[in-house]
Structure 1
Amino acid sequence: MSIFDAYVERRNTGCMKWDGLERRFGRDDLIPLWVADMDFLSPPAVIDALVERARHGVYGYAVKTERYTGSIVHWMRSRHGIEISPEWIVPAPGVVPALSVIVQAFTEPGDGILIQPPVYHPFRRVIEGWGRRVIENPLVESDGRYDMDFIDLERKAQEAKVMFLCSPHNPVGRVWTKQELERVAEICLRHGVLVVSDEIHADIVFAPHRHTPFASLGAECSRNSITCHAPSKTFNLAGLNTAYVWTENESLRTAYEKASHRASMAELNVFGIEAMIAAYEHGAAWLDDLLAYLTESLDEMENVFQNELREIRMIRPEGTYMVWLDFRALGMPDDELDRFLREEARLGLNEGHIFGSQGSGFQRMNIACPRPLLSQALRQLADAVHHRRRA
């Protein structure tokens, strides 16, 4: 039995994923496979570090230390083959708050910001919330595979100030190749578009795919980009405010830091620091085991969809622990599909349409849970679809 098979009771812990079911879906008896955190214990080294820090008993304001930045530098070098400098790193309470700061620092009301829907829905919220203009460069889907539309990107980049790049892509699970990212870089450089690369899912990538940090593409790309990162998805630390941004470009970094201070988003979480350092220093083997476990879960899912749920297409992710499911063959409008999954399959998934109109007919399933729970969810889905067939 894998350590990841162990069930951890999360109800009544103030947990959004489980305790937020009633508010989010109108009922609390669903299997929650929606919000992107994991139902697994964090690595033992992280738990030990947090317990040790708690024993200290004083939890005052924290500062960025050499060990803090050193752990990030080491992780980027060892895991992703990119060399960054400690002074490039700026803490952030989360990637979405960082995007909010970036919008304020580098754009004016009415400026255009590129996104590639279907995409992580807070991208649009942050852009529109600050009075900026969303410019869509939709991904192109063909037989379950998504690709970038570079002809459209070339055209749209002419009216954009910034591009929000989701890499790996959430929700469709693409891990962009170096060649794809080079084309993005070339277009954005030619049109003076700042690339903001959200790489929060970079560590959750399945062989043979490899994550390519956008800033690793060359000196020009490094100077024309800001990378948003965090150990939160990787090690289940989402509640500890462990995000950070980094850029080689001193002028970009200075502008970001000034905007961050104006927005009062420059504070560090005293426990988040310890959790991140422990994860980056001691969590590599745990992560390898997690990736192997998730791969087995994906294999099991594919078997179920191929043999019992052929009407639903499972788009196997190259990265992230989210699976993009295509329900269009069932012929249900979005509101009926949402109701079907909630009321008949008793599952809490992320509705595809929240990721943009291109997500209509799709749903996003978070599989970072013990396999017995995932198997039960798939059984409930299969039973609901079979019942529909007979009706």
Structure 2
Amino acid sequence: MNWNDCIERTNTHSVKWSFPKGDVIPMCIADMDFQVSSAIVEAMNKKARHGIYGYTTFSDRYFESIMSWWKRRFHMDIEKEWISFSPGIIPGINVLLSVLTEPGDGVIIQDPVYYPFYSTIENHGCSVVKNTLLYKDGVYSIDFDDLEEKASRSRTKILILCSPHNPVGRVWTDEELLKIGDIAKRHDLWIISDEMHGDLVYEGFEHIPLFKVDESLLKRSIVCAAPSKTFNIAGLQTSILLIPNEEVRERYQDKLTGFGLMRPNVFGIEGTIAAYEEGEPWLNELLMVLEENKQYVHNYLEQHLPELRAIQPQATHLIWIDCSDLDMQGEELCRFFLEKARVKFDEGFKFGASGQSFVRMNIACPKERVDLALRRMHEAILEHRVKSRISK
């Protein structure tokens, strides 16, 4: 696998590469500019050569590949019956909210957080209840006193937990997860745990699935997972919801059928099996590449761009960058990077009000592209420094 190959993605219907016009580097949208594992490519080619792409269902091998992955990576036994399908995590959470809430109910999120959570909650007439993360000295933590108070409200029904957290990159410890679970049990709160990035964890840290930390949470929580972020196959539209509660699982599956979303993509099934059965060596290489890119960004900013602070992620292929010292926020900040540096980031303010002075950078690309983006940022900020001195 050549991790330095800058593969051309323009004119391939890529969302990430369709927006930027002209000489702009997209460091946004959480997919990767790396080719997938050769095992997945071969599985796709084999199915394509078969030549029949009819309605598709789930095989025993599909379920076994998922259960085996969880056993190897997280040392946890999950039951086949828990596994439910969704074409994506956000569609799955939408269906869950239609099952678990009524209009006017409150749903807690821990902002700054993955921005589709906001519209997902509002889609069902529910209220977004913010348990804003604490930010001090470049480290994010959970405000448990605030979480307790908001969970105690009579109309608060659900916490959507982002674990590992997107965009700040925190891997929650077992102690933090136990505290969350205790609050949920005290206040009869459901937890939807989005563990999409659970496989993309850096050395020295361990992702702990919510179910593993406290088995008593099995009946009041759902874990959302997928091979899509791990193996760069989001376009195959196959995600996994683990729902141990039988009643909720049946209601979820009834809703899924009612929405016509019960059948998987023919290539999604093949891609999932190939990823979980044969993709581990590719993933282990990927994590080393991401570690190098992460450290390179940190060192570059520290050496050349003291105005920017990379929040060191413990997981994900994303870096949350604090730009407070640039004295720009929101649209102005992102316009500066887009127009002056010709680099497109995900706008921090979309993740919540506490993200106004931040941008999210995707480092899942060849180091050459990371370096070019950083050098462009450096040139733009050098010019900004000069203009700032003149204006003073």
TM-score by length of 1: 0.97
Q: Distance in 1 between matches of 2:331 and 2:270?
A: 43
Aligned counterpart, 2:255: 259
Query: Which amino acid in structure 2 is aligned with residue 76 of structure 1?
Result: W
Give secondary structure in 2 for the equivalent of 1:110. coil
Match of 2:390 in 1: none
1:204 matched to 2:200 = yes
Q: Which amino acid aligns with 1:44?
A: S
Aligned residue type for 1:6: D
1:20 aligns with 2:14: no
After the TM superposition, list the runs of 4 or more consecutive aligned residues in structure 1 that deviate by more than 4 angstroms: none
Give the 5 Å matches for 1:44-193: 44-159=38-153, 160-193=156-189
Structure 2: runs of 5 or more not aligned:
388-392
**Long gaps (5+) in structure 1:** 22-26
Residue aligned with 1:260, SS? helix
Alignment partners' CA distance in 2, 1:267 and 1:355: 31
**Which one is further off, 135-144 or 245-254?**
245-254
SS of 1:3 mapped into structure 2: coil
Structure 2: how far apart are the matches of 1:349 and 1:218? 37
Determine helix, strand or coil for the equivalent of 1:363: strand
SS of corresponding position for 1:4: coil
Give, in whole Å, the separation in 1 of the partners of 2:329 and 2:195.
33
Identical-residue share of aligned pairs (%): 43
Shift of 1:212: 0.3
Counterpart residue number, 1:10: 9
Question: Using the alignment, how far apart are the partners of 2:122 and 2:235 within structure 1?
Answer: 25
Q: 1:237 aligns with which of 199, 217, 233?
A: 233
Deviations 1:172-200 (Å, cap 9, x if unpaired)? Answer: 00010111001000000110111000000
Contact 1:216/1:222 (CA < 8 Å) preserved in 2? no
- Superposition deviation, residue 220 in structure 1: 1.1
CA deviation after TM superposition for structure 1 residue 29, in Å: 2.5
Tell me how far 1:352 sits from its aligned partner. Answer: 0.3
Structure 2 CA distance for aligned equivalents of residues 85 and 373 of structure 1: 42
Amino acid at match of 1:342: L
| CA apart distance, 1:254 | 1.1
Q: Distance in 2 between matches of 1:86 and 1:270?
A: 20
1:335 Cα shift? Answer: 2.4
* Equivalenced residues, count: 385
Is the counterpart of residue 42 in structure 1 residue 41 in structure 2?
no
Bigger shift: 256-265 or 107-116?
A: 256-265
In the TM superposition, residue 64 of structure 1 has moved relative to its aligned partner by 1.2
Relative to the length of structure 2, the TM-score reads: 0.97
Residue type of the partner of 1:15? S
Paired letter, 1:354: K
